[in-house]
Amino acid sequence: AKSEGRGTYHFFEAGMDATLQRRRTLETGLRDALANNGLSVVFQPIVSLQTNVVVAAEALMRWDHPRLGPISPVEFIPIAEETGIIHDIGGWILEAATRAAAQWPGPVRVAINLSPIQFKRPDLVSTIKAALEAASLDASRLELEITESLLLENSQSNIDVLLAVRRLGVRVAMDDFGTGYSSLSYLRAFPFDKIKIDRSFMADVATKADSRAILGAMISLGRNLGMTTVAEGVETAEQLAVVRAEGCTQVQGYFFSPPIEGEAMLAMLQAEQCN
């Protein structure tokens, strides 16, 4: 950068400063938020296409920074992963979400996202077990969502941890299915209970035959392997109709509901019980 002349160098440096500064602010802010109840959890309903009722809800983390306002998890989760804070905030949402789900009626499940970094701690399985016990939530009501980057490391120890989690009675879902390099080979590495088809595949399903064929093939694949299939990011009635016609099991997306506060989630489930 220096050879490009002083001006360029300074410009570049100033740009770096702003990015770095925001990162530092978010990093310390995240620790403060964890210590001072600054994090919250919202829930997005997942609806069965067989019964049209809410069968599960995905827990999603929210952070409202006191000065910068709401920060997307797309921005703060990677920072949490790089700094190791993910262990603490990951433990926090596990506790908060299982506690909330223990209030939900019937067999409605809660789905929680796990970062690959969380698998680096040997006590992950006992942390999950402890959270279930503290919340008095049956293991069968918890689903854990992982992305294939976890299996990308091809480490047997990650697979062993997943198997141990599954032996507790917890279900395991592959998140963002179809977006990685080798989604298919990972289906052989681990017995997933569920695949969540990434929302990028919903884009043109109502208008493009090729897109619909790809979606249909993913759904058939899941069904043939005995897995539950979830279509993520369903926003329109047209997309819903396609997903339903292709035989998908469950659906999640703005068409049915955006992520909502815990109280609203509980109210929705209680209202549904009365029907």
> Which residues of the shown chain bind Ca ion in the complex (CB under 5 A)?
113, 145, 175-176, 232
DSSP string, 196-235: EE-GGGGTTTTT-HHHHHHHHHHHHHHHHTT-EEEE----
Residue 24 gets which letter from DSSP?
Answer: H
Q: Contacts with ligand C2E in 200-239 (CB under 6 A)?
A: 233-235
Residue 246, interface with ligand C2E (CB under 6 A)? Answer: no
Q: Contacts with ligand C2E in 31-70 (CB under 6 A)?
A: 44, 60-61
Residue 72, interface with ligand C2E (CB under 6 A)? Answer: yes
**What backbone phi and psi angles, to 5 degrees, belong to 224?**
-65, -25
The distance of closest approach from Cβ of residue 259 to ligand C2E in the complex, given in angstroms and rounded to an integer, is 5
Shorter beta-carbon distance to ligand C2E: residue 115 or 229: 115
Q: How many chain residues touch ligand C2E (CB under 6 A)?
A: 19
d(CA 233, CA 47): 12
Shorter beta-carbon distance to Ca ion: residue 72 or 156: 72
First to last CA, the chain: 66
d(CA 70, CA 79): 15
Shorter beta-carbon distance to ligand C2E: residue 44 or 158: 44
Which residues are registered as beta bridge partners of 61? 41
Give me the residues that bind ligand C2E (CB under 6 A), please. 44, 60-61, 72-74, 77, 93, 113, 115, 175-176, 199, 233-235, 253-254, 259
